[in-house]
Structure 1
Amino acid sequence: MLVWSSEEMASCCGIYFGATSVCLALHKDGKTDVVANDAGDRVTPAMVAYVGKDKNVGLGAKQGRIRNAANTIMNVKHIIGKYFDDPFVQTLVKTSPCKIINKRNLPLFEVESNEKTIVVTPEEVLVLIFKKMYSIASSQGGLDVMDVVLTIPTNFTGEQSNTIRKAASAAGFKVCRIINEPSAAALAYDIGQDTSAEISNVLVYRLGGTSLSVVVLNVNSGMYRILESHNQVNCGGTHFTNSLVEICADEFKRSWRADVRENKRGMAKLANACETCKHVLSTLNSASTFVESVHEGIDFQNKISRAKLESLIQSHLQMCLQPVDKVLESANMTAADIHKVVVVGGSTRIPKLQQLLRAKFPEAEMLNTLAPEEVIAIGAAKQAALISGYEDIQLLDLESVKGECIPYSLLVKVSNSDETSLQTAVPKNTYIPVRRQHTYTIQQDKSSVCIGVYVGEEGSTEEECTLVANLVLTDLPTDCQKEKQVTTVFHYRREGSIHITCTEVVSGKSSGVTIETGEPAAVEEPSKVVNEELNSAGAPEQ
């Protein structure tokens, strides 16, 4: 038997930790959104700078990296869990402005702090970055923002995952689970969550600042299974920026007979300007690059078109698409077998890249409505909402997490809408935990709505089913120019309870209930309260 009880929905969050940036999304009151940092940016640079006695994290570190490059730590994600003699670590040793030293075959950072030379471990840098994200989360959600789901690449080892977990825990988060990045990206778009019978193949293409990953997921009954994956470093947006920097350096040399490449600070300033120019060209057809006193007191200005940039990076774009063919071949698939393509990562904003992906998958649905830098964090926050309140903190096994099935269907009747009969919200025998979202249209002139929740068999009448809860929204706007919409989220938790929230889109009004397993006698009193609310709201009594 089910017992109705009201509950204020707690907040939880998801974090995407990348090599160049970090993004935090918060799920609260049935909504998931990315949280802006103290500078108003929705993504935070994954950098830590030591300046005197202070440690700057995020934007402050990025803004000062030209003057303080030797004490600014970047790309820590690619170093954690690796040894000093790792090929990629060796590449960073040669190219990083911040000195990387060898201690017991482990890569450590050597920086100046408070006029002393100190050694900083990658784990310490992780903790500082997560503390920054914790302060961002706390400023939005209060002290109850503790539960978090973290994301990792598919090629991370258990040791690397554990390092990420420990750093987040040391920063104050309660780590509920760690999931892989492509699954979080698919969850952000609710792939397989709204329709339990959906079976599809999804290609998740992520191109970030310094790395690339291509993953093929099979989605079946809301479960994600990785069929094939490819991860590659030294392939990302930084290479596009470097191509633009080289062209600008050549133009400067041609115009002024001076080589800016001899000036490290000048090249760093030029790289900053070219990165901004590249971002502008993702939305505009042309952009200007201006750098004050780039070399020997000379200012530099150059205008470049999107077509010019695309011709410069054409070879890099082709290299970034080659892993797609390899992954499909390894999975014994063709482009026609892919139903949806999810683009993730800031570098996928480049229109030419999206055009090439569409040409490669002409029959697939391209999912790019969310900001690509935020997709993984949003999916992680949705996963946090799905499992919030559980003690389980094991690494998500996407192939074996099915667990129990629900023994009945969850049915819904919406008053003051076009829905006059029971509609199936979650079918019988759906695996839990599971999350389903449905949107219902409300008549324009109605100021209240009642969502009646029933359990029973599909196709049953209202009299044959059991009413377990009513959710009531009142004081809704009646001057809307179009029909109102109520989004209802049904969340089956692992222990069998059901958390339901409904939100009216225009006004933002929301209501939530939790249906727990309990004794039959406890059903009557909550139902009486619900009926009183319905009568006072002018909604039909159930």
Structure 2
Amino acid sequence: MSRIVGIDLGTTNSLVAYMEGGFPKVIPDAEGHVLLPSVVGFTADGILVGDAAKRQLVRNPTQTIYSVKRLMGKGYEDVKEELRYFPFHVVPGDEVVKIRVADREVTPPEVSALILRALKERAEAHLGEPVTKAVITVPAYFNDSQRQATKDAGRIAGLEVLRIVNEPTAASLAYGLHRLKEGTVAVYDLGGGTFDISILRVKDGIFEVLATNGNTHLGGDDFDRAVVDWLLADIKARHGADLRADLEALQELRLGAEAAKCRLSFEQRTVLTIPLPQHGFTYRREISRAELETLIEPLVQQTLGPCRLALADAGLSANAMDEVVLVGGSTRVPLVKRRVQELFGKVPHSQLNPDEVVAVGAAVQADILAGGITNMLLLDVTPLSLGIETLGGVMSVLTPRNTTIPTSAKELFTTSVDGQTVVDMHVLQGERELVKDNRSLARFELSGIDPMPAGMPRIEVTFLIDANGILQVNARELRTGKAASIEVKPSYGLTDAEVERMIEESFVHAEEDVASRLLIEARNEADTVIRATERALGQASGLIGQEETAQINGALAALKAARDGSDRDAIRAATERLNQATLHLAEVLMDSALKEALTAKRVTEALGKPER
């Protein structure tokens, strides 16, 4: 049997892992990095994925797509409120949102497929064999549309998705392989764009999910946005500049805010320095952990409500948990750890790397499917109730939320009009009583019913939910035997024809994409070094001698000339020469910045001293 890999398709970063000798291993790239930034850049020369795409975020914001997971399986009405945070252009499509890049439009599953393909190629290079099968994780609170969109992305990338696994459940499998024997476990999963809480019972190798809840639009991205809004207000107050319309400046601020947030997880204070030459100043701001926590406290509080709901659905109290496990990079934030500890009354575990634990769990599930691990069993649940529309626009639930899957449910219905020969079956997902307040998944007709008085036909509706959480609906009129069925293709999914077209296009363009990517990456690195050097030279007036300045300018001119060519090796060599030429300049500028900061601190302290 061919090897099955486990993939964590994340909002901020994505990873791929596999099992070797009974132990999960996360696969690094050629440079040893295991995290692949979930960023895709579209350029005139081709497509970039990962770090190369992330590096062009600032200078090419409208053509660089990030956090696409927040758009998966969504309609335009679902996401229009947060589109102001994205520099790229999201447009309404035929039920699926689309993203406009250059002269074409792409769907979120297509963008996700590019990330998945990059992980597939990484795994193939590492393992030395083709990789065609995968287990992919999704937030536990993903609905049917979002799960189907993820499966579509896998197909477009050339992967057979054997199982869609909920992220908190995957994390529990990873911990189960290491230490969990039995008991009740709360898995608190706060990633870049999504939040999940799952309550599980573990016993004798069986991982049974009792309840799940969450918010598919809450995560570290929202922390960053809160900081950016605060910085924008501060810049306007101190410098009189409104940067909201400057897409490049906004990306600089977003990346700076993210970096400051990460540093403040380990330090009490940090300094944010963002050069804004287009506005004639460099923005400097010291940020304390206390200030960050004030900004994000309301967002952290939003994660606690779903925790309480999941506990109520499981019929358990917070202090009944034997273990509390933290998953996702955003759980490194000290405030998050404190609030989780306060809610559950015990110190949460985070022994495994929170960035890697979901991918590790996906690899465990992949090995279970491949028959490698035989002493572990996963029993997951469906996150939202499923039902059909009945008379008066009411949703009749067949499968309540937190039902263990795979599962089936049956219920009898009848007609409401005399002589009715066709019944319109409307499949819904959600927790509200009325159809209009729930998500429409699919419609199909049961036709050929013999004309009978209202209430006489007996229509048996069966819901079948597979282990991926994907729904199939069957309807049968028991008196006549007439039947109809549908595998639910959500209203916000792609048609089979669209998926096939995208797969074909990926094969057609794969060779040229790979051929051009290395050249684009080399040019992008050169552009970054060129801009940084020009900025440094502008700030180094009087700090270095004329001879050193001339050497740097010579290396700079050589790199600019090489950058315009098509020899990527020459570009990389010229980039390295310029890096070497500017080593001393970087040291001088760092010393100057430190002296300036110390001087400013002494002045502040002197001004702040009370008179004797």
TM-score w.r.t. length of structure 1: 0.64
Native 8 Å contact 1:81 1:160 kept in 2: yes
**1:140 correspondence with 2:126:** yes
Distance 1:105 1:383 in 2: 33
State how 1:9-408 maps to structure 2 within 5 Å: 12-38=4-30, 40-85=32-77, 87=78, 89-112=79-102, 117-143=103-129, 145-158=131-144, 160-190=146-176, 195=181, 198=182, 200-293=183-276, 296-363=279-346, 366-388=348-370, 398=380, 399=404
- Inter-CA distance 52–25: structure 2 relative to 1 (3 Å threshold): same
Native 8 Å contact 1:26 1:35 kept in 2: yes
- Inter-CA distance 314–123: structure 2 relative to 1 (3 Å threshold): closer
Structure 1 position 272, deviation (Å): 0.9
Native 8 Å contact 2:195 2:216 kept in 1: yes
Distance 1:333 1:289 in 2: 44
Distance 1:160 1:191 in 2: 28
Identical counterparts, % of pairs: 31
The equivalent residue for 1:435 is none
TM-score w.r.t. length of structure 2: 0.57
Native 8 Å contact 1:10 1:29 kept in 2: no
- Inter-CA distance 38–251: structure 2 relative to 1 (3 Å threshold): farther
Structure 1 position 370, deviation (Å): 1.3
- Inter-CA distance 96–372: structure 2 relative to 1 (3 Å threshold): same
Structure 1 position 166, deviation (Å): 4.1
Native 8 Å contact 1:240 1:313 kept in 2: yes
Task: Give aligned pairs, total.
Answer: 380
Native 8 Å contact 1:215 1:327 kept in 2: yes
Distance 1:12 1:139 in 2: 15
Distance 1:35 1:378 in 2: 10
Native 8 Å contact 1:49 1:71 kept in 2: yes
- Inter-CA distance 362–249: structure 2 relative to 1 (3 Å threshold): same
Structure 1 position 39, deviation (Å): 5.1
Gaps of 5+ in 2: 381-403, 408-612
Distance 1:234 1:156 in 2: 10
Distance 2:156 2:246 in 1: 40
SS in 1 for 2:127: helix
Per-residue CA deviation, residues 425-483 of structure 1 (Å, 9 max, x unaligned), is: xxxxxxxxxxxxxxxxxxxxxxxxxxxxxxxxxxxxxxxxxxxxxxxxxxxxxxxxxxx
Structure 1 position 279, deviation (Å): 0.7
**What amino acid does structure 2 have at the position aligned with 1:56?**
L
**What amino acid does structure 2 have at the position aligned with 1:13?**
V
**What amino acid does structure 2 have at the position aligned with 1:106?**
V
Higher helix share: 2
Structure 1 position 70, deviation (Å): 1.5
- Inter-CA distance 348–66: structure 2 relative to 1 (3 Å threshold): same
Distance 1:16 1:357 in 2: 24
Structure 1 position 243, deviation (Å): 2.7
Per-residue CA deviation, residues 77-114 of structure 1 (Å, 9 max, x unaligned), is: 233333333x2x223444432222223232112110xx
- Inter-CA distance 278–183: structure 2 relative to 1 (3 Å threshold): same
SS in 2 for 1:372: coil
Distance 2:405 2:82 in 1: 38
Structure 1 position 344, deviation (Å): 1.0
Per-residue CA deviation, residues 371-429 of structure 1 (Å, 9 max, x unaligned), is: 21211111011121222269xxxx97545789xxxxxxxxxxxxxxxxxxxxxxxxxxx
Native 8 Å contact 1:344 1:376 kept in 2: yes
Distance 1:248 1:159 in 2: 36
Q: Name the stretch that deviates more: 91-100 or 279-288.
A: 91-100
The equivalent residue for 2:432 is none
Native 8 Å contact 2:141 2:215 kept in 1: no
- Inter-CA distance 299–93: structure 2 relative to 1 (3 Å threshold): closer
Structure 1 position 277, deviation (Å): 1.0
Distance 1:134 1:57 in 2: 13
Whose Rg is larger? 2
Distance 2:244 2:75 in 1: 32
Distance 2:300 2:139 in 1: 22
Structure 1 position 369, deviation (Å): 1.0
The equivalent residue for 1:480 is none
Native 8 Å contact 2:142 2:216 kept in 1: no
Per-residue CA deviation, residues 487-535 of structure 1 (Å, 9 max, x unaligned), is: xxxxxxxxxxxxxxxxxxxxxxxxxxxxxxxxxxxxxxxxxxxxxxxxx
- Inter-CA distance 275–194: structure 2 relative to 1 (3 Å threshold): closer
- Inter-CA distance 64–39: structure 2 relative to 1 (3 Å threshold): farther
Structure 1 position 145, deviation (Å): 4.3
Distance 1:57 1:218 in 2: 39
**What amino acid does structure 1 have at the position aligned with 2:318?**
A
Distance 2:33 2:161 in 1: 24
Structure 1 position 295, deviation (Å): 5.1
**What amino acid does structure 1 have at the position aligned with 2:291?**
K
Per-residue CA deviation, residues 323-378 of structure 1 (Å, 9 max, x unaligned), is: 22222233322112111111111111001211221222224x62201121211111
Distance 1:271 1:259 in 2: 15
Per-residue CA deviation, residues 290-348 of structure 1 (Å, 9 max, x unaligned), is: 11226513111222222332233223222232322222233322112111111111111
CA RMSD, Structure 1 to Structure 2 (Å): 2.8
Distance 1:204 1:123 in 2: 27
